[in-house]
Each structure stands twice: as C-alpha cells, then as structure tokens.
Amino acid sequence: MDIKVYTMPGCRYCDQVKELFRRAEVEYDAVLLDTPELREQFKQENPEAIGFPHVIIDGQVIGGLVDTAKLFLQKGLVSSKKNG
C-alpha cells in the first residue's frame, strides 16, 4: 500500500490519522505543508482537497481522517473495539 498524507502544523486530525497508521502498522509518507508557498502549491495541484489531513492511497484520493478510518475498518486493518 502506497500512502501519502499531507499535513499542516498543529493539526490534531493530522496527528490522529498518523496514529491510525501506527495502529494499522502501515508505512506512509507524510508531507508537512509548513509554509504558505507549500500550501499554495498543494492547493493548485490538489483542488479537490478541502482540508487536512489529505490522504492518498495507491494514487486514489481517500479524503481526511474519517474517510481513512472507515476504509481501514472496512479492510480489517484496524478494529473499532477499544483496548482496555
């Protein structure tokens, strides 16, 4: 699975999607958009992106945290059961 996630500094949903990847034990490439120039370039190249994180898996736009979590649940990569 080829995962790329675009993130912003201070984005709690970005941190949560990274935790989801950790729980699923999958590798991913994170791209931190930490300057106005990088964010503008990202917007021009990804006009469909409406927020962060922005997840792309195997070249397909997945969306944000919720859409990624739903996909991982569907594929059995994570469980909805809480530990403890």
Q: What is the pLDDT of residues 70-80, one digit of tens each?
A: 999 999 999 88
Does the residue 83 lie in any domain? no
CATH number for the domain harbouring residue 32: 3.40.30.10
Does the residue 80 lie in any domain? no
Q: Which segments in the chain show pLDDT lower than 50?
A: 84
Q: What pLDDT score does 79 carry?
A: 87
d(CA 7, CA 18): 10
Counting the structural domains of the chain, the total is: 1
d(CA 6, CA 31): 5
Does the residue 60 lie in any domain? yes
Does the residue 81 lie in any domain? no
Q: What pLDDT score does 82 carry?
A: 66
| Domain range for 9 | 3-74
d(CA 84, CA 74): 22
Does the residue 48 lie in any domain? yes
- Of 7, 9, 11, 8, nearest to 55 by C-alpha is 7
Q: What pLDDT score does 80 carry?
A: 80
Does the residue 67 lie in any domain? yes
